[in-house]
Chains A and B, each alone.
Chain A
Amino acid sequence: MLDIPLPVLLGQVTIGLVNGCFYAMLSLGLAVIFGLLNVINFSHGAVYMLGAFAAYLGSRWLGINYWIALFIVPVVVGAFGMLVERLLLRRLTGLDHLYSLLLTFGLALVLEGIFLDIYGSAGQSYNGPPQLDGLVDLGFMRLPLYRVWVVAVSLAVCVGIWLLIERTSLGAYLRAGTENARLVQALGINVPLMITLTYGLGVGLAALAGVLAAPIYQVQPLMGSNLLIIAFAVVVIGGLGSTLGAILTGLGLGIIEGLSKVFYPEISSTTVFIIMALVLLVRPAGLFGREA
């Protein structure tokens, strides 16, 4: 174990951190949506894919460049999410979790099916912005500048959303609504609107992750489904409904996963689930969850 050179180790940590950023952004959206809506959003991976495809198709058909896509795609896909909430999810409020889970799962299958039908399972490549071509020399490794950008943007977005939730009055609505939405509404807050916006925010965040991912990973219809499973594990490990838990666990797991590639590559893809099992044994409510 000690014969592993430090640069290799740090290299895997860095790569893990990039993956962790995607885990964090997806899990944060899942956690916020679950907190307020009580919906286990199985279409989250599909909207991430939708974000990546929107960037790809926008560039191919409309010549929309990366920088514009970065702003427009989350808004458009987020608006699509709000439509889904208003037209479909809302009708299931008050019913068992299982109904909304099945609805969002079905929605994911439909979205992925449509793209599979048109584009097949082969990946499309999407070029990142030329401004971010090139490598950054970190001393122990040379990292593509684009990945540094991804880490910076994701961290800024996660911290921004965390501050929004923890420090603003809008965030206080969300925290209170997560505890008791009916009472918050009886205190005069338009909770149905808040639910729509929150769902839109979570979906928009997944779409943003999709745009960020498009130049790194291949743009393909099933790109979200593997990631989604990990994101769910992150939410569970972090503690259901804990935003800070989702962010820190996402980043941490990315790094641990990276490290496990160095020490024991065979289990690197299962690391997350082993950790989940261990955490649940010790702290059933998750690392940052409130014990009931």
Chain B
Amino acid sequence: MTTSLALSTPISAATEMGPTAAAAAQRRQILALQDVHAWYGESHILHGMTLSVAEGEVVSLLGRNGGGRTTTLRAIMGLVDRRKGSIRIAGAEVIALPPHRIARLGVGYCPEERGIFASLTCEENLRLPPSQAGGGMSVDEIYALLPNLAERRKTQGTRLSGGEQQMLAIARVLRTGSRLLLLDEISEGLAPVIVDRLLELITRLKSLNYTILLVEQNTHFVEDLADRHFVVERGQVVLHVTAAELASSAELLERYIGV
């Protein structure tokens, strides 16, 4: 891995504080949802989501299928048909902004279906999103970090393996300089070795003080990674657990998300 990953921070300067829950309380809120409602057509999906993520924190959204975790990320990006309530990014209200303006505030979104474009090569996919002020990793830095992608730069995006596509989807938003990442089920459907590599990557991003909201099905993936966990059900947060409480609330958590 390269050592040149000390990234500039468009949202704010990096803090020295360790990302513990107690410290989080004093840190700046990078993302704050207050009583957010969202609709697809006539279907009312989010019913008052309230959550916040502080700078440098990794927060997971857990829950059963159909609970509304993907919709939460889509609501933050402005990709639902209608939304109501308050969504603040680094303090700025974005509920009325179009998606591209939200992205340009430094929000990097990796959709559940990965969203790699078939008509673009690997490298075109990587270079697609415009860089934001401050910029992020250069293409060379990304290739140093993820050598697989370098080898396949001329390959049609959707011909990459599932794992490579997932790496590409993450790399794509790292290139822009986004410091708040919204990652939807990145470990889904991937082989355990690839999941380990993703875990390594996210851990590394955490150490670089990225702020990450992670939707996961796989509790295993987030248990050592996330500072806090929200359980989402029927479009609301039904449980909030800090990393420290995780062991003691295992049973409770199991009841909410166990299958």
Q: Is B129 within 8 A of A189, CB to CB?
A: yes
- Complex-state Cα separation, A185 to B103, whole angstroms: 8
Q: What does DSSP make chain A's interface, helix, strand, loop or mixed?
A: helix
The contact of A186 among B99, B119, B130, by CB within 8 Å, is: B99
Residues of B33-86 at the interface with A, using a CB-CB cut-off of 8 Å, are: 77-79
In the complex, how many angstroms separate the beta carbon of B17 from the nearest chain A beta carbon?
Answer: 29
Contacts of A186 in B (CB 8 A): 77-79, 99-100, 102-103, 109, 111
Q: What does DSSP make chain B's interface, helix, strand, loop or mixed?
A: loop
Q: Does B215 contact A (CB under 8 A)?
A: no
Q: Is B117 within 8 A of A179, CB to CB?
A: yes
Asked, given contacts A169-B127, A172-B124, A172-B127, whether A187 binds B117 with beta carbons under 8 Å apart, the answer is no
Most buried by B among A182, A183, A184, A188: A188
- Complex-state Cα separation, A178 to B104, whole angstroms: 21
> From B121, which residue of chain A is reached at the shortest CB distance?
A172
Q: Is A176 within 8 A of B130, CB to CB?
A: no
Q: Does B172 contact A (CB under 8 A)?
A: yes
Asked, given contacts A186-B109, A188-B130, whether A180 binds B99 with beta carbons under 8 Å apart, the answer is no
> From B103, which residue of chain A is reached at the shortest CB distance?
A188
Contacts of A184 in B (CB 8 A): 128
Q: Is A187 within 8 A of B118, CB to CB?
A: no
Q: Is B99 within 8 A of A182, CB to CB?
A: yes
- Complex-state Cα separation, A183 to B173, whole angstroms: 12
Q: Is A172 within 8 A of B130, CB to CB?
A: no
Chain B 109-122: CB-based contact to A (< 8 A → 1; otherwise 0): 10100010111100
Contacts of B132 in A (CB 8 A): 188
Residues of B102-158 at the interface with A, using a CB-CB cut-off of 8 Å, are: 102-104, 109, 111, 115, 117-120, 124, 127-130, 132
Asked, given contacts A176-B128, A187-B128, whether A182 binds B79 with beta carbons under 8 Å apart, the answer is yes
Q: List 27 interface pairs A-B (beta carbons < 8 Å), by A numbering.
A: A169-B127, A172-B120, A172-B124, A172-B127, A172-B128, A175-B117, A175-B120, A176-B119, A176-B120, A178-B119, A179-B118, A179-B119, A180-B115, A183-B115, A185-B98, A185-B100, A185-B103, A186-B78, A186-B99, A186-B103, A187-B100, A187-B173, A188-B103, A188-B104, A188-B129, A188-B130, A189-B130
Residues of chain B having any CB pair with chain A under 8 Å: 77-79, 98-100, 102-104, 109, 111, 115, 117-120, 124, 127-130, 132, 172-173, 176
Residues of chain A having any CB pair with chain B under 8 Å: 169, 172-173, 175-176, 178-180, 182-192, 290
